[in-house]
Chains A and B, each alone.
Chain A
């Protein structure tokens, strides 16, 4: 009861701020759709259908664009924590009789909501461009589940980093450095089979690859054994990152009292 009240109150703070920053909201929603149109449109012509495994590059790229969006939002996921730490408001929050976990859980709730909304927009734009997910409406639900799992993993990683760094400068330096390699060392835009061997090995250790794999099967092939397998791998990756995130957050607050 109390716990849900805390999570709701903290989420309300971000929702209010988001709705008030209308331009920010507008661009956040439009950006992935624009990427889908231009990026996929431009790259599509250059792609060899035999390497990609389909002649519909836009359908192939949809999961990549979703991953792109979730990675971008992963950075903003940790911003409140990062800035509350620096402004001192985190201290005020920690002096209240709230559960420590509410601070983290509320951010997951908010991010999953945000990302789901964006994924729906991306899928709608894709629909207009002629993409029909082979797995049907239930497949769309499964895509949202994959998005939520990936959001969990990346939000946890970003929060862990936000706790570990001395200031937001370091945070942005590291995330700026890591975001693009994270995307391109995955199957976001190119299938694993078309990569050099070493890159494929790296991509297989990247949680993004499993989210994208599951979503791509759902969009292109429909339901297959690969879907639960990839989702399973994603669950493991999320759990691991969540453990790291909680450990870092506990470290951050143990200088204070737990």
Chain B
């Protein structure tokens, strides 16, 4: 079976600043793979390259077997992208269901199936009851779940989640984790960017910690803790970089 994500020396610079520096990732089907690092480590930039939004300035990346530059269209059909931050201002005046149906049509769900498919994904994230309320009335957690639902509309092979629990309260985070876990139980491949160590520890099969755009260390959560003799992933990060993970956090 081929890899879902495969990058070679993937790099991206902004001016003379290297945001991603020679990253090599190999993610197999069915994995929850964590991309960890403090704010500014280069997680979103990596994801934007994989989501065909930003051309790499060096190296190459293949998603579901397609080059992100040469076959961007094929990649887009196969990924669901849940962005780190998208202000809902542009669809405040829509209901959750309307937004979902519109995006279903944009993902080329056949016209007759749009309503049913939108209902399905809203149900999946527990928003059925609130589907006909305006998005402006949604809490932060509900908005994130709505984004997650919209990322599932076209049954993607790969789900890319950029800090899906950033800014959520504890119950909302746990709820989001449950949804992610059940998606994985159904065989979805997930790339999860986060700077929460406990999130990665709970969810990820394997992970890579990056800092300043470079790989620091990779492995399963257990391997990483064992190899460094550290009690938590926070400490793993600390031992490898000499500074605390949250240090650069806002």
Contacts and interface: CB of A to CB of B under 8 A. Distances in A.
A13 B90 CA distance: 9
Interface string B39-78: 0000000001001111100000000000011001100110
Given A5-B111, A257-B68, A12 B102 contact: yes
Interface in B2-49: 48
A16 B98 contact: yes
A88 B147 CA distance: 13
Given A88-B86, A89-B86, A92-B83, A257 B108 contact: no
A93 interface: yes
A8 interface: yes
A163 B239 CA distance: 45
Interface stretch (A94-102, A194-202, A231-239): A94-102
A95 B90 contact: no
B87 A88 contact: yes
Interface stretch (A79-87, A113-121, A125-133, A205-213): A79-87
Most buried by B among A20, A89, A92: A92
B106 A94 contact: no
B145 to A, nearest CB: 15
Contacts, number: 84
B106 A93 contact: yes
Contact of B106 (A9, A21, A88): A9
Contact of A9 (B68, B77, B105): B105
A88 B83 contact: yes
B177 interface: no
Contacts of B69: 257
A244 interface: no
Nearest to B160: A95
B86 A92 contact: yes
Contact of B90 (A89, A97, A98): A89
A254 to B, nearest CB: 8
Interface residues of B, number: 32
Given A88-B83, A95-B52, A257-B54, A20 B77 contact: no
A96 B107 contact: yes
A50 interface: no
A91 B83 contact: yes
Contacts of B108: 2, 5, 97
A256 B107 contact: no
Contacts of A2: 108
B198 to A, nearest CB: 26
Contacts of A21: 93
Nearest to B84: A88
B52 to A, nearest CB: 5
B89 interface: yes
B79 interface: yes
Nearest to A8: B105
Contact of B86 (A20, A87, A98): A87
Contacts of A86: 87
A56 interface: no
B81 interface: yes
A13 B102 contact: yes
Contacts of B217: none
A45 B193 CA distance: 69
A26 interface: no
A222 to B, nearest CB: 44
Interface in B88-104: 88-91, 93-94, 98, 102-103
B85 interface: yes
Interface of A: 2, 5-6, 8-10, 12-13, 16-17, 20-21, 80, 83-84, 86-89, 91-98, 255-258
17 contacts: A5-B105, A5-B108, A10-B106, A12-B98, A13-B98, A13-B102, A16-B94, A80-B90, A87-B87, A87-B88, A89-B87, A91-B53, A95-B51, A95-B79, A95-B81, A96-B107, A257-B68
Given A5-B111, A20-B93, A87-B89, 6 more contacts: A17-B93, A91-B86, A92-B81, A95-B81, A255-B54, A257-B53
